[in-house]
Chains A and B, each alone.
Chain A
Amino acid sequence: MGISPLQWPVLRQLRSGDRLGRGPAITSPTTRGLTSRNATADRVVQSVCPYCAVGCGQRVYVKDERVTQIEGDPDSPISRGRLCPKGSASEQLVNAPGRQMHVLYRAPRATEWQRLDRDEAIDMIAKRFVESRRNTWQELDDKGRRLRRTMGIASLGGATLDNEENYLIKKLFTAAGAIQIENQARI
């Protein structure tokens, strides 16, 4: 960051009238080049906060395929650009140091996790699903009435699942006869 002697602060002080050296005379090149990182983002999309049910609007800024900022969406009539501390921390939620990004598997009696390929994991889960369903199927009750279900599989969801996701989950489980599907609303 070489500056030419003409740009030395002391000379700028004398030239600009800012004798006490408190203003533009002492700005560094970094300072002069300052800009909001929102202005230089690759794109911004509108989203909704994943925390409580107020549904505040969020603006998500992305640069180099990383989220660089999440802040309130001033266009939202509900939130008018504001966010609570959790909503304000959404960028950290996405980029959290402790975020887990790999599939992990714990074998029976194991004391530690091991890595597992994602597709293989889904295959394994599907197999167990079908097998448990077979093991615990109830076709009729003791009065001969149709039950057509399995009580051997259950699900408990949170409320950050989208409507589309809930729809597929309910459809799949219902078609499979698994009725013990629940979510946070019950709790």
Chain B
Amino acid sequence: MVNLSLGHQFSGPTDPAADAHWPDVRERKGFFTDTSICIGCKACEVACKEWNHNPRDGDLELTAMSYDNTVSLGASTWRHVAFVEQDKERIEVARESGRRLVSLGMPSVRRPQDDAPPGPGASADATGTTDGAPTAYGNVDTTPPDTPEFRWLMASDVCKHCTHAGCLDVCPTGALMRTEFGTVVVQDDVCNGCGTCVAGCPFGVVERRSDGTAAPTTREGERKGEQPDVPKRGVAQKCTLCYDRLLDDETPACAKTCPTTSIKFGDHDDLVTDARERVAQLHAQGMTEARLYGANELDGVGGTGALFLLLDEPEVYGLPPDPRVCTADLPEMAKRAAIATGGMLAAAALAFLGGRR
């Protein structure tokens, strides 16, 4: 029997691990990817592949998409660094759209006035800026990076581990599951490769491993034109938030290796707080283009386990601006279906009764 009070299971704020009835619910784990400090090194891509023994994918050809030869997340690529080169116009537009977001009255954040230790500039002279006014961080230079003519955005994308996960909700076999950490993981020994999850993900993250039928060549090997050895062919694969590592209290590979801590790992709630503080800090420095992605638990997927701080519209990074899980309306649809069924039964009954006379 479908319990119609499952509304919160499909949309809105909730604790997904608890919803999945884990007896030992752990603190929800997630990522906060602060793209403003990413140096585009791709250590995350490599560390992830190395840990998970994912094969090389792609055809070893330059894509000419700036320094991005990985192109997108997929069955064998679970971290992908995007590179976006932008000129002055685009920077201005981004800054303006950010300003508008701020003035819309986004949830205000407590400025960490007293918490932050005074920066090194606190006691001494201003660091050569026109804006010498004291800020929460002492007399720190708050002018935005002084290359207004150009900037290079770099961002490491990953599975969002949505609060309400489309892939999970539509999986017919129970291959996709919610872990005790609130993350979403594919059990590749259960997956039958039906591919429904691929359609169910609003972000286009999960994919199936190629099973060789559509491979460009049958030559095996690592070089251009050759097919690398692909384990787990045919099944759906995506980021597991290093579930196996979490079980042994280890940090996920990408977060551990990120040289600048652009990728931060930790308890989801803490990360949301940190993310909001960071955005406030950037706004105080004049970088109004900074905004969060996935932090709003009222959005179409109930907020994501992997948050991002972006410096422009999501589309610029290849992210959907308003992602919505396909099962969000399921309770509503079920209700309507029930009413419609009821109505049809009633109509049929009426027809019978009427017909008997």
Contact = CB atoms under 8 A, between A and B. Distances in A.
A19 B23 CA distance: 14
B50 A28 contact: no
Interface residues of B, number: 43
Interface stretch (B134-142, B198-206, B210-218, B248-256): B248-256
A30 B189 contact: yes
Given A20-B6, A88-B47, A34 B174 contact: no
A21 B174 contact: yes
B222 interface: yes
Contacts of B329: none
Contacts of B177: 22-23, 26-27, 31
Interface string A7-40: 0010000001111111111111011001111110
The residue among B168, B222, B250, B257 with the most chain A CB atoms within 10 A of its own CB is B257
Given A20-B6, A24-B22, A85-B45, A36 B178 contact: no
B325 interface: no
B323 interface: no
B20 A23 contact: yes
Contacts of B179: 23
Nearest to B223: A98
Interface in A25-76: 25-28, 30-31, 34-39, 69-72, 74
A85 to B, nearest CB: 4
Interface in B34-52: 41-43, 45-47, 50-51
Contact of A38 (B22, B23, B250): B250
Contacts of B23: 16, 24
B206 to A, nearest CB: 15
Contacts of A23: 17, 19-22, 177-180
Interface residues of A, number: 40
B245 interface: yes
B9 A20 contact: yes
B131 interface: no
A35 B178 CA distance: 17
24 contacts: A16-B21, A20-B20, A22-B169, A23-B177, A23-B179, A25-B21, A25-B174, A26-B190, A28-B190, A34-B247, A35-B248, A39-B248, A71-B257, A72-B257, A82-B257, A82-B259, A85-B45, A86-B46, A88-B43, A88-B50, A89-B50, A91-B50, A92-B50, A98-B222
Given A26-B177, A84-B257, 16 more contacts: A16-B23, A18-B21, A23-B21, A26-B174, A27-B187, A31-B177, A34-B243, A39-B248, A71-B257, A81-B251, A81-B257, A82-B256, A84-B41, A85-B42, A87-B43, A97-B221
Interface of B: 3, 6, 9, 17, 19-23, 41-43, 45-47, 50-51, 168-169, 174, 176-180, 185, 187, 189-190, 221-222, 243-245, 247-248, 250-251, 253, 256-259
